[in-house]
Amino acid sequence: MNREELIFEITQENDGGYVAECLTENIFTEGDSWEELRKNVREAVTAFYFDRKMPSIIRLHFVRDESLTAA
């Protein structure tokens, strides 16, 4: 993985909110809307890297799990 990039796995909760978990660092956050989640991810990354160089790219990877029944 490129050291200049962080990848977050995003899942949607049953209540409609979103949860973000970084795949390479211990950074977790959530938001009630997509826009709030984006803001919270940026704030969490800034806080995590407060004393060192931040990666230049933050990638949000939305994961959707769906079950289908055979017809």
Check: CB of residue 52 under 8 Å from CB of residue 1.
no
pLDDT tens digits along 13-50: 988 999 999 999 999 999 999 999 999 999 999 999 99
The pTM is what? 0.85
Q: How far apart are CA 6 and CA 46, in angstroms?
A: 12
Q: Is the pLDDT of residue 2 over 60?
A: no
Q: Is the pLDDT of residue 3 over 80?
A: no
